Structures are given as C-alpha cells and as structure tokens.
Amino acid sequence: MSDASRLRSTIFVGGLENSVNEKLLADAFLPFGEIVDVTIPKPELPSSTDQHRGFGYVEYEVAGDAKEAIDNMHQSEFFGRIIKVAAAKPQKDSNEGLGSKTAIWETEGWIAKHAVSEEDRQAALSTVNVKTPVDDPMQGLEEPDIAGPRPE
C-alpha cells in the first residue's frame, strides 16, 4: 500500500481516556471495516505515569471505511469522554515548523520558493542605482517666521 493511500485510510482518534488500550480502540472501530493497525503513542518522557498520550491512530484496509468511521464516531462518547475522530495528517519532518532547530530560510522548501535568479537580482540592483529627482517636500519652508497661512 502506498503512503498516500495509507494516509487516506488512517484516522486520528483524540481525547482517549487513560484506561483505553489498543485492543479496546480496535474493538470500538471494528464495525466500520477491516482494521490493519492500531497505534496509541506512549509518552515521550520515561518518568511519565500516563499509559499513553491521549490519542491514537486506526488504519483501515479501505479508505471508505475510514471515512465511515469518522462520520459515525466523531464527537461520540467513549469510556466517558467525547472523542475527536478525523483523518490523520502526515507527520511533519523534525526540521519543519515549530520546534525545528533550523531557520526557516535555510530549509530546502523555502529556498526553492523564494530563491531569486541572478538575472532578477541584477535587474533589481540596476533599478536601485538609478536616482530620480524627487521634489523636496520641505522646499519653500526655509524662512517660516510667522504661524498660519501665508499672506498672499
């Protein structure tokens, strides 16, 4: 199965109660179709006493089954909590977005999108060097000795 079709057939389930495990989650979503995999991420900190991070992923064999599960289970009650069920989003690269240790302008995507060709750079420099005469807005105000409008 390709990554794109895998993503379309995977759903995100958020708001899980601490006692929910992978078997319970699979049993709850089994009526909507054949399940390939159920994952509930564990806490990143080893000192954490939580069983999991409060969300999980259910991957179906067919993308239509995932849509059916989203339509039927979103905002439903599961173990005393209202759960959020949505299509899973692709996992971001650790070098992208918030939390990245790389400046945005150093990433390949940003460079490709905002890169300026040498020809454009030369054209921009040539227009900067051309000085156009600009009317001085302060011209004629050298000797303001009275306030108010000028007498005509």
CA-nearest of 12, 35, 8 to 23 is 35
Tell me what pLDDT residue 110 has.
Answer: 76
Q: How confident is the model at residue 13 (pLDDT cuts 50, 70, 90)?
A: very high
Distance CA 38, CA 106 (A): 36
Q: When comparing pLDDT for 74 and 6, which is higher?
A: 74
Q: What is the mean pLDDT of residues 16-41?
A: 94
Q: What is the pLDDT of residue 43?
A: 83
Given a contact cutoff of 8 angstroms between Cβ atoms, the answer to whether 14 and 46 are in contact is no
Q: Taking residues 33-49, what's their average pLDDT?
A: 86
Residue 58's pLDDT is 95
DSSP one-letter code for 121: H
- Computed over every residue of the chain, the mean pLDDT equals 82
Percent of the chain with pLDDT over 70: 80
Rounded CA gap, 84 and 86, in Å?
A: 7
Are 103 and 32 within 8 A, CB to CB?
Answer: no
pLDDT value, residue 111? 76
Q: Is 149 helix (H, G, I), strand (E, B) or coil?
A: coil
pLDDT of residue 151: 65
pLDDT at residue 114, as a whole number = 78
Residue 66: the pLDDT is: 94
pLDDT in tens, 62-121: 999 999 999 999 999 999 999 999 999 887 666 566 666 777 777 777 777 777 777 877
Q: Residue 102 contacts by C-beta under 8 Å, 6 or more apart in sequence?
A: 95
Question: Given CA atoms 91, 93, 98, 99 in this order, what sign does their dihedral have?
Answer: positive
Half-sphere exposure of 27 (CA within 13 A, CB side): 7
pLDDT at 119: 80
Taking each helix axis from N to C end, the angle separating 22-29 and 63-73, rounded to the nearest 10 degrees, works out to 90
* Distance set, CA 63 to CA 28, 58, 66, 109, 114 (Å): 17, 11, 5, 29, 36
